[in-house]
A and B are shown apart, each in its own frame.
Chain A
Amino acid sequence: MLFDNVPYGLPSYIFSPKWFYGFDSIIESVAVIVSILLVYYSYKCFKLTHENRYLYFSTAFLSLTFAFLAKIIGTLAIYKPKITRSAVGSSIHETFNTLTPSYINAVAFVVFIFFMLLGFMILFLIISRLTWKNQRILALLVYFVFLATWISTIHYQLFYVTTFVLLSLITYSYYRNYQEIKSVNARFVLFAFSIILISQAFFIFIIYSRTVYVLAELIQLLGFIYLLIPFVLIFKKKPKKHKLVK
């Protein structure tokens, strides 16, 4: 559904069928939780080891966290206009009375696109083991993120095509990583990104059917649950039994 009267010609989109309103936000919340856990642990690794690769990984998932939060805010603004009628909501609404639900949705959609592309781009750079010293390539890729964000706000399908391409490259790198490591956790990570990749393929076609949106969201949920499994397995790892020598 496309809402009109949005400033700067920004589009405002809702693709969910009415019965699914709010469920997609719950799914996005799961993605936020998984992303925050990865941000937290990779940042902890960075603090312990002082190795930048953990910091970049943390930044990539922080970017994805912002993206999903923006999508939650954007969709809830449309789903729950009653929020503005609550005590806190009305005071905020009076302060920012120009902020219509469509306006919030439109801005949130742009923020969502930008951080999603940025997050996957950083992840692609880390996984592909490209050197961060080549600043001209990095500048070009950042420009590409801005360009893709701009064009995606006009032709939103391009956004999902771009994330699909980025995720294809990331998934291929994880396939190579699994071939090299051959561990259960590396396999889970490969599955997770493969499933998220499939969800992006579904997202490309959401304009044709609202059921496709529901399917895409459910597949994405499955992908993030798979991403959580290796994380949990690593933390379930018990210390080897030992006796302290006196």
Chain B
Amino acid sequence: MSEKRRGKLEIIADILRSIQSKNGRIKPTHLLYKSNLSHAKLKEYIDVLMKKGMIEEKQEKGKKMFLMKELGYKFLLEFERIKEFSDSFGL
């Protein structure tokens, strides 16, 4: 049986979790691989996350990296809480 499609918030949480799992900084290629999204879709989400101030883009030793910001961590915590609430109360 196919798995349930991820919602927008779940995709955002998965992207942020991927960055978090790499100690808050990740290469774009790694993120593409971990997020399980097409290049175009990932770019859309990255743009949204940067606009919302959850992540930022930086050049480190000439390489592009995505860095998690405080707001990104706060979003993840709130998302986990909602998920826990939803699971516990069978929603």
Residues of A within 8 A of B (CB): 41-42, 45, 48-49, 51, 53-54, 57, 126-127, 173-174, 177, 181, 183, 185-186, 188-189, 230-231, 234-235, 237, 239-240, 242-245
Contact with A along B74-91 (1 / 0, CB 8 A): 101110111011111111
What are 16 pairs between A and B in contact, CB < 8 Å?
A42-B91, A45-B85, A48-B9, A49-B7, A53-B86, A54-B91, A183-B87, A185-B87, A189-B89, A231-B85, A239-B73, A242-B68, A243-B24, A244-B68, A245-B67, A245-B68
Rank and list the top 9 A-B pairs by shortest CB-CB distance, nearest first: A185-B88, A177-B90, A245-B24, A239-B77, A245-B67, A53-B91, A230-B88, A245-B25, A186-B88
B1-44: CB near A (< 8 Å → 1, else 0) gives 00000010100000000001001110000000000000000000
**Chain B residue with the shortest CB-CB distance to A128:** B90
Cβ–Cβ < 8 Å partners of A235 in chain B? 81
Q: Knowing A48-B78, A239-B73, A239-B77, say if A57 contacts B89 (CB, 8 Å).
A: yes
Q: How far is the CA of A51 from the CA of B10 in the complex (A)?
A: 13
**A174 vs B89: C-alpha distance when bound (angstroms):** 8
C-alpha gap A54/B88 in the complex (Å): 13
- Nearest residue (CB) in B for A188 is B88
Evaluate contact between A45 and B69: CB separation under 8 angstroms: no
Q: How many B residues are at the interface, by size bracket? A: 20 to 34
A126 to B86, CA, bound (A): 12
**Distance (whole angstroms) from the CB of A227 to the closest CB of chain B:** 9
Known contacts: A48-B82, A49-B9, A49-B82. The answer to whether A242 contacts B73 by CB under 8 A is yes
**Residues of A contacting B78 in the complex (Cβ-Cβ under 8 angstroms):** 48
B77: nearest residue on chain A (CB-CB)? Answer: A239
Chain A residue at minimum C-beta to C-beta distance from B68 = A245
When C-beta atoms are compared, the residue in chain B nearest to A230 turns out to be: B88
**Pair A244/B25 contact, Cβ less than 8 Å:** no
Find out whether the CB atom of B88 lies under 8 angstroms from the CB atom of A189: yes
Given A45-B82, A237-B77, A240-B20: A127 touches B90 (CB 8 Å cut-off):
yes
Contact A45/B24 with A53-B91, A57-B91, A245-B68 known, Cβ cut-off 8 Å: no
